[in-house]
A and B are shown apart, each in its own frame.
Chain A
Amino acid sequence: MKKTIKYAYKQTIPVAVGYIFMGIAFGVLLSREGYNPLWAFCASTFIYAGSMQFVLVSLLHDAAPLITVAIMTFLVQCRHIFYGLGFIDKFKRMGIKCPYMIHAMTDETYSLLCSVKYPPDIDEDKCSFYISLFDHIYWILGGVIGALIGEIIPLDFTGIDFSMTALFIVIFINQWREMTSHIPAVIGLCSAALFLILLGPDNFLLPSLLLTVGLLCVLKKRIKNEISDASAEKEEN
């Protein structure tokens, strides 16, 4: 048992740094909007989603309507639909832990669970559970520390909200490198820019999201061709 926990902990060390750092950034941001650490604790515990919690702060700031919140969340999080696919049998066999394993499936935990190698003397299911749990604890810890920093330390944190922009630029670059078709990224950029100019900063989000999904469906054939051409080329090489 102890061995399993120790092994799980070792696997999560790379995530710890990132989660505590980004968690702190989130906590500071949320506290700047006037929410005490309990709110940060609840968000990191019950929502537990990196980028979406940053978006949450903006949505609160803008007093966005609940329908926009729901659609925005769905579109930002829909990549998670695919994370579960490889783990259906594994999580189901974990019984009572299954709902928690589903909840704790973030980008980082997903990539850890995909790549971790379980030695023969380690209980695989217990180990994955502790990996999920440790990552979750780092994230909560970061969020609460950040909220406390924001509340207690009388520093002028103006501008720390740029960490969200920076995070998205980084994700954008990573995805640009991975994607063989750049049409989706261009569609998103153009739809958002178009409605920002037409409707202004307060009302552009929802129409941009809907236009983006619409255009992705309309241009499905073309984008799919680019994706499959590239993978065919890879195979040839």
Chain B
Amino acid sequence: MPVSVGYSIAVFAVVAIVTYFTRSLPFVVFGGKKGVPKIVIYLGQVLPSAIIAVLIVYCLKSINITSAPFGLPEIISSLVVAALHLWRKNTLLSIAAGTVCYMILIRVMAV
């Protein structure tokens, strides 16, 4: 484990509680006649695509483009996922093919 059992439980609990909080918010806050604040509606429209973009960078944060294999496994596999998904629009196929591609590339390109 990268962190202690106690800290792991804390992280799991925070994720679980905050997730339940977001799911229950409309029932607790917006259950009445007041309606949803405009800024919340706006952020709900735009946040998901912005956050996913941040998450992609977060996934690729550790690649090193200054030394071999220059992040090539990540870049090539990402392109495979994107191309496949644009072509076939099949979520599972894109993910499976991209992951297998990556697992092969890091072994082939290992130095």
Contact = CB atoms under 8 A, between A and B. Distances in A.
B98 A169 contact: yes
Contacts of B2: 33-34, 60-63
A160 interface: yes
B74 A223 contact: no
Given A46-B16, A80-B23, A162 B91 contact: no
Contact of B25 (A18, A48, A84, A172): A84
Interface in A1-41: 17-18, 21-22, 25, 33-35, 39
B43 interface: yes
A184 B49 contact: yes
A165 B24 CA distance: 28
B68 interface: no
Nearest to B36: A85
Interface residues of A, number: 95
A59 interface: yes
Given A22-B95, A92-B27, 11 more contacts: A47-B12, A56-B12, A58-B59, A60-B2, A79-B44, A166-B99, A168-B55, A170-B85, A188-B53, A205-B58, A216-B50
20 contacts: A39-B12, A52-B19, A56-B12, A58-B59, A61-B2, A78-B43, A84-B23, A102-B24, A159-B106, A166-B98, A179-B49, A185-B49, A185-B50, A188-B51, A188-B52, A188-B53, A189-B56, A192-B54, A209-B51, A223-B46
Interface of B: 1-3, 7-8, 10-12, 14-16, 18-27, 30-31, 36, 39-62, 73-74, 77-78, 81-82, 85-86, 91-92, 94-96, 98-99, 102-103, 106-107
Interface of A: 17-18, 21-22, 25, 33-35, 39, 42-43, 46-49, 51-53, 55-56, 58-64, 66, 69-70, 73-85, 88, 91-92, 98-99, 102-103, 105, 158-160, 162-173, 175-176, 179, 181-189, 191-193, 196, 201, 204-205, 208-209, 212-213, 216-217, 220, 223-224, 227
